[in-house]
Chains A and B, each alone.
Chain A
Amino acid sequence: MTTKPKASLTSRLGISTRRASARIALLLSLFHGPGLAEVTVKQVKEAGKSEIDMENPFVRLSVDLLHGARVTGFVHKATGHQWIDSGQGLFADHVWQQSWPGELYSVPYEARVEKTGPEEGIVTVWRVIEGAGQTDIAGVRVERTLRLSDDSPAVEVTIKLTNTTDGPRSVGYWSQHILNLGGPSDNFYLRPSARGLSVGEKVYRDGGRQQSWLGEEWVKDPVAGWSAAVNPMTGEAAVFVMDYNDLRWLYNCISSWTVEWYYDLLRMTPGREWTTNLMLLPLKGYKGVTYASKELIADLSFQRKGAGFTMLYNLGAGVRPVANVQLETELVSLPGRPTLARESKRVGALTFSPQQIASGLDLARARGDFLVRVHVSGDGLDHTFERSFSRKALSDHLIAEYPSARYLIPRPVKKKSLPRPSVLKLSPHNGFTVLELRGMFYPHWRIAQALGRGGPHRVQPAHFVTNVYGDRLDYFPAGYDEMLGYDVVVLEDIPVEAIGEEGLALLKDYVEAGGGLLVCGGWHSFAGGGYVGSGLEDVLPVTIGPSPDLHWHAQGLSLKADQRFLPVTLSSFAYWCQEIKGRKADSTVIVTAGDKPFLVTSTYRKGRVACLLGAPCGSPQPGQTGFWEDDHWTELLGQTLR
């Protein structure tokens, strides 16, 4: 006879182990605070006021339904500190097509209370963008769901955008949070970038009478989805975690205490929905943040020991406590990257209050700059992060150095999910149809005249815009139906960022299905366009050289067409030519400029691809003609397009 193993206390009480440990950790961490371990949700409606108040053992927040459904009150119970000054707020909805404060910031929202506790409270708020005069965004519904649970400090949020209209929409969502972790001590803003940990600092001097800021506000090369604000004096931290696959840029307006980020531009077919999750973790006990995720918050700091320093790990739980945590660390020298030392440590359980663990690594082995790579594992935990340090910056007070080009972290490829048809096929249509993405100096390529030589055609233009908000196109197909309806797509000096990951996926599939692609050069294409490592390079007949790849040939390089492929006689010159790394095996050079390939073609799956490796720029020498003014240029281009 077998005996059933004695059930554990927690299972006998019908509580999961995970939940039990969370509750125990909660009670332990709350021994100074209110003992109430449940969530409450209350609606407050008075004259001039409509709010939903949500509370759990960790935070108390108010959602102001009359003003953008922003969280306009936020008390972090561990410190008792109110994070929001009047007029500010968390989780403000914006779209990048509207400059701040935008349409949504101070308008009433609809709301629905989904759950009122005791284990979780869920509130959903929404509003449809009117976008007066902005056809790109009008009719997009913005919905935000906030969730508190009884066993976590995390405020979990889901954003959902829906195209409620009959037409395509392009919208860039942007999340903004204005919070003050308290002066008059400095606040730091920490973000993960390809150049290392990026830091901004709000500086208070002279008892707060003088304020200034240091560091960078924009991080246009994030490598992970998080952003943290920290007050090292009080140890209070606001860590925001968002989905890297949707993240475009991180931003802080340091003088105004904001934490913000921009999402990738969405091109939405009618009815399309897009969701993304984000989270706010209000924490205490941190002087800095090196790494953040839903499950783990980590920092590396230093403590003087004799003539040198000891490194300290500061590790804490994210959304819930974690058990059985272990560390494995490598100390790596920069440059060159030889591993100098390793260590492993058992940490045990991580709770919301960080644990400080001294490293045993001998930092003296690193004579110059070095990198620390840490792998943290545990129950449901598997994270790796790294951080570089310069020897001379080490101190007891180091929060972060300004990033430099000392070493670069490759940006992880984002995973996008687009509803893809099971069979990729160009859709039949009448007439020759071209999608022309018009970049810098586009009129001089003379695409319109080239097309005109071949008979009736239709051009769908899109225009390239680049400014402080980044690269974008004012139009791109939002889905496969539209994308597969073109005969040729022309990129006239267009960077991949403007097309976006979803757009690149569409474009690549389009070529694969048999579409034609003409890529024209310039400063915003090839190396300068971010083509290296993007899906677009896979499709091209050339491999891309290092930046800057557009070189000046002041005396001009004479153009010559290979008569076997293109019986056109050119008598003109190119002055700015794209230097490529090489040509792919199946490519064909149709036109040369001097001894350099100028027009190169190949096939990609069922599609055809051509590259014009230069720009229609420069001052012709006396007696010379720039190729863009050559009598036969449009003939050459027309034949290439058709």
Chain B
Amino acid sequence: MMNHIEGPTRVARLSAVLCFLMIACSTAIAAMAEPQGALTVPAEKTNHQVGRIIDDPGTESGKTLVATPGTDKAGYLIDQPYLLVPPGRYRVAFRLKIDARAKHSRVVVLRVGAVGDPHYRFIDRVLTTADFRRSGEYQDFELEIARPATEGKEQAQLYALVSWEGKETVRVASITVTPLSQPPVLVWKVWPAKILVRPNQEQTFTVDLAEGKGQPQQGCRIRIECVRDLDTVVAVAEQSVSLSPWEKKAITLKWNVGKPQYGYEARATALDAAGKPVDSTSEWFGVSDNSFRLRIASNVPFSFLDPNANDWTISEARKNYATVSELYAWSPGMFCNLYPRKEYWASGQVSEWRYNRTIMKSLISDLHKNGVSVISYDACWFNGAPGMETARQHPEWLQYNSQGRPMGGLDTSVWDIPGEGDEQVPLVPYSSESRNIVSAWPVDDKLMATAADEILLIGKELGFDGVRWDGHPIIWASPDEKAIPGTNLGTGIWRCDGKPLRDLVKDYDAQSLHNMRLIKQRVAKQLPTFEWGYNWGYDVTVNGLPKTWKECVSNGGVWVEGGFRTGDLAAADQKNTWEKFIESCFQSCQLVIREGGYPIHGAFTYTVPSTLRYTYIFSVANGGHPCISDGDNVLRDYYRFVLRYSQYLYDPAIEPWWGKPKIKVAGWCTYRDGMEPKIPPVSQEAAVAGSRPIVWEKLLFHRKTSATTMDTILHLVKAPAKPYMDFTDLDDPPIQEKVKVSVRRPAGMKLDKAWCLSPDQPNMGEPLTPLVSQPGWMDVTVPRLAYWDVVVFQWRKA
């Protein structure tokens, strides 16, 4: 089950309000003449709410601002300078150091922004101890931002914040603002309305321009292009524009994205009257006919009781390139009780979570406007107050054990709370999830139809785009009726009249298939594009229910839970090797991908950035969609990269270089590849040479793109410091340079181009110069391997 991320809603609101108040009340506004160069503001000249100024001979000014746990409160270590600068692009560098770097800890949040922008309210970055090279040494951390002039003024607002978490001693020496460029026409934002668009649908781009010189700009042009694949540029639109001095203008353009899917860079360029480009900016979005295929689901904090939180939710989702928001445990009950019949309710699963229907509808609507697909969590049990009432009215819909008792859990103290739906209702104290819960009997068409109708209700009335089951109504029992760990599948179940399932159903696969088809078809009649996801793919029911597996996995998101959860692999145990992990990722992904599904790995725990990064890379490189807890936004650049270059990760045409595996589930979270004995040595296909170990041998793929073209996709990952997953290690091996890669040229093909794609580089991709060092092979040199590079060779029939 996903962790529910509440997000720093209150903190965000508080910071916004405080900033506004400070701007309104501050007497320390420093109006700046047009900067000729960088402006450094030493810490003692900034405004700070917490911390103390002390002497520090290690800084230029001889002073530093320090905050120490136990002595200082958490809060805004620095909440200014608040500067007025000419419109343009700026780099803000924060110079900080920490005293100790022994363990993982969140240190500060850096923030640069201006009040009033709904989309780019601020640029922020979380710093943890891992971000510091070492303790006791000052280091610069930079954020870049583009600022147009404030309305009616000649200058742009710019503020810098350092918010201290209160956990580690930190010292701030200074903040330096460096102008990068001040173009006559600043393209300070291009905003694709939707992060994910369906094929042949319309995308809207809003381009925000600002005049930057205080002069009229005539005869300029704005060009919008979309770049897909490696470097295929598609012209979207071009139009002329004129700006008065300091004027800001927004231009909106629409574009039908057509058939091609996967990731795009939307690039807006301002050209002067002479046609010379003067400024440019980019944003990224994706096209897919199934949101599970391009599922990038990172932290999407949401609050369903605060309508003012929608902006924050959307802003965070867009910063993390979230294409899917799965709402977990939101509903008043599962299965037959998804749709809230009242305006207010508490979650049937996590009793502390409260919701309001109107606010929820508006948030889903806003998410849709941003192209984010909203998926509901569901499961085949009865829980929560409405679930229990349904169970009371229909005991024939419940599963029973051999003693004739409903299978589930009960806590009748919950019924002492007067009914749900009242905003003031005291919540059931949270002690565990679903204190009242009973499993559903899986052989009842009326029950399945009722469950399907609930899904229709949440789809039509609230706007949900799909459901991801955490327990869908399939049935399976092993001959010895031993339960599969973590489920109640496999164990015997009995009907309300004491008849065991095994006497009533002879073909479990047929019954399970019938259930799933009944639900899907009933929903599809009214919501034909509704999407389906499951929690499956890691136990013997995959082999035991082959037809049902095929029906579900095809075009479905499959959450492969086993072996990736905190309890399974989150201990620094030398037996949890990266080799095992990569193999698990590969096998679990291939099992799903080869049947036309989209594997989701969940959930990866976050203890230190290094382990988080590697678990993410190895999942994605194998075609997985990780569900992770990334509270420090370690992987923001990675989400953008994965979206942009998603065709090299998620195209079903991608397969291992040697062919298609034949993966079977051999046991709980255990797989076997029938092709393993036949896999030829990878050395006959590629070679990699770096100054230090590189993981690549199991990450080499082919992708047939047409009858005459194909790609070789090779992932290079700097090998982790230890061979096993160490959830405490802050450090990684150093960056490698000039990594030599050789791949075999496919017979009858010639190389079109070779590129190196990487989320670790600001431009995310660059062409490589191929060489032929030996017949039948192509060589490239990858300039830099920080963590993960994806080397793509595009071949064409000669």
Evaluate contact between A444 and B392: CB separation under 8 angstroms. yes
Stretch of B9-17, B404-412, B459-467 lying at the A interface: B404-412
Q: Which residues of B lie under 8 Å from residue A549 when comparing CB positions?
A: 404
A350 to B574, CA, bound (A): 45
Sorted nearest first, the 6 A-B pairs with minimum C-beta distance are: A548-B404, A463-B413, A467-B409, A547-B404, A548-B498, A528-B404
A516-566, CB < 8 A from B: 523-524, 527-528, 547-552, 554
Size of A's binding interface in residues, CB under 8 A: 36
- The interface stretch among B229-237, B344-352, B363-371, B395-403 is B395-403
- Distance between B361 CB and nearest chain A CB, rounded to angstroms: 31
A618 to B415, CA, bound (A): 18
A523: which B residues are within 8 A, CB to CB?
A: 395, 400, 404-406
Q: How large is the interface on B (under 10, 10 to 19, 20 to 34, 35 or more residues)?
A: 20 to 34
Within 8 A of B (CB), among A436-452: 438-444
Contact call A442/B412, Cβ cutoff below 8 A: yes
Chain B residues whose C-beta falls within 8 Å of the C-beta of A618 in the assembled complex: 393, 395
CB of B668 closer than 8 Å to a CB of A = yes
Interface residues of B (CB under 8 A from A): 388, 392-396, 400, 403-406, 409-413, 415-416, 432, 435, 480, 482, 494, 496-498, 575, 667-668, 670
User: Could you list 18 A-B pairs, sorted by A, with CB under 8 Å?
Assistant: A212-B670, A402-B480, A438-B412, A438-B415, A463-B411, A463-B412, A463-B416, A464-B411, A466-B410, A467-B409, A523-B404, A523-B406, A528-B404, A550-B496, A615-B395, A617-B393, A617-B395, A618-B395
Check A550–B404 contact: CB distance below 8 A: yes
| Most chain A Cβ neighbours within 10 Å, of B403, B435, B494, B496 | B403
Whole-angstrom distance between the Cβ of A535 and the nearest chain B Cβ: 19
- The minimal Cβ–Cβ distance linking B570 to chain A, given in whole angstroms, is 15
Residue of B nearest to A628 (CB): B392
Bound together, the chains give a CA A617 to CA B496 distance in angstroms of: 13
> Which residues from chain B contact A444 at a C-beta distance below 8 Å?
392
Which of A442, A547, A550, A615 is within 8 Å of B415, CB to CB? A442
A467 to B411, CA, bound (A): 8
Contact B392 A617 (CB under 8 A): yes
Question: Is the C-beta of A325 less than 8 angstroms from some C-beta in chain B?
Answer: no
Tell me whether A552 and B497 are in contact (CB under 8 A): yes
Contacts A547-B404, A548-B498; A619 near B393 (Cβ below 8 A): yes
A465 interface residue (CB < 8 Å to B): yes
Name A524's contact: one of B405, B480, B670 (CB within 8 Å).
B405
Most buried by B among A464, A467, A551, A616: A467
20 new A-B contacts at CB < 8 Å, known A402-B480, A548-B403: A438-B415, A438-B416, A440-B406, A440-B412, A442-B415, A461-B416, A464-B410, A464-B412, A467-B411, A467-B432, A523-B406, A547-B498, A548-B400, A548-B494, A548-B497, A549-B404, A550-B395, A576-B395, A619-B393, A619-B394
A466 and B409 contacting across the interface, CB-CB below 8 Å: yes
Contacting A443 at CB < 8 Å: which of B405, B415, B496? Answer: B415
Which A residues lie within 8 Å of B575 (CB)? 209
A474 within 8 A of B: yes
* A467-B432 Cα distance, complex, nearest whole Å: 11
Q: Across the interface, which residues of A come within 8 angstroms of B670, CB to CB?
A: 212
Min distance, Cβ B62 to any Cβ of chain A, angstroms: 42
- B480 — which chain A residues lie within 8 A by C-beta? 402
Q: Which of B393, B405, B435 has the most CB of A within 10 A?
A: B405
B392 touches A465 (CB 8 A): no
The residues of B that contact A464 with a CB separation of less than 8 Å are 410-412
How far in angstroms is the closest Cβ of chain B from A555? 13
Taking CB atoms and an 8 Å cut-off, the chain A residues in 99-128 that contact chain B are none
Whether A552 and B496, one on each chain, are in contact in the complex, defined by CB atoms closer than 8 angstroms, is: yes
Which residues of A in the span 243-283 have a Cβ within 8 Å of any Cβ on B? none
How far in angstroms is the closest Cβ of chain A from B486?
A: 12
Residues in chain A near residue B416, CB distance under 8 A: 438, 461, 463
Shortest Cβ gap from A457 to chain B (Å): 17
Most chain-B Cβ atoms within 10 A of its Cβ — which of A442, A468, A523, A619? A523
CA distance A209 to B413 in the complex (A): 46
Interface residues as binary, A209-253 with B (CB distance below 8 Å gives 1, 0 otherwise): 100100010000000000000000000000000000000000000
CA distance A466 to B405 in the complex (A): 11
In angstroms, Cα B404 to Cα A552, docked, is: 13
Partner of A548, one of B415, B435, B496, B668: B496
Are A212 and B392 closer than 8 Å at their CB atoms?
Answer: no
List the B side residues contacting A528 at CB < 8 Å. Answer: 403-405
Contact with B along A27-54 (1 / 0, CB 8 A): 0000000000000000000000000000
Contact A551 B497 (CB under 8 A): yes
Shortest beta-carbon distance from B493 to chain A in Å: 13
Task: Produce 1/0 per residue, A494-524, CB < 8 A to B.
Answer: 0000000000000000000000000000011
Bound CA span A523–B498, Å: 12
A349 CB to nearest chain B CB (Å): 41
Q: Are B405 and A552 in contact (CB under 8 A)?
A: no
A198 to chain B, nearest CB (A): 12
B393 nearest in chain A by CB position: A619
- How far apart are B441's CB and chain A's nearest CB, in angstroms? 12
Rounded to whole Å, the gap between the CB of B333 and the closest CB of chain A is 15
CB distance from A616 to the nearest CB of B (A): 7
Cα–Cα, bound, A623→B410 (Å): 32
Residues of the A chain whose Cβ atoms lie less than 8 Å from the Cβ of B498 = 547-548
Give the distance to chain A from B528, nearest Cβ to Cβ, in Å: 32
A residues within 8 A CB of B404? 523, 527-528, 547-550
CA distance A576 to B397 in the complex (A): 13
Question: Considering the chains assembled together, what is the distance between the CA atoms of A524 and B410 in angstroms?
Answer: 11
- A461, A550, A551, most chain B CB atoms within 10 A: A550
What residues of A have a CB within 8 angstroms of the CB of B406 in the complex?
440, 523
Once the chains are docked, how many angstroms separate the CA of A552 from the CA of B405?
14
Which residues from chain B contact A524 at a C-beta distance below 8 Å? 405
Q: Tell me which residues across on chain B come within 8 A of A461, comparing CB atoms.
A: 416
With CB as the reference atom, state the residue of chain B lying closest to A209: B575
A461-480 to B contact mask, C-beta < 8 Å, 1/0 = 10111111000001000000
Chain A residue numbers with a CB within 8 Å of B435 are: 465
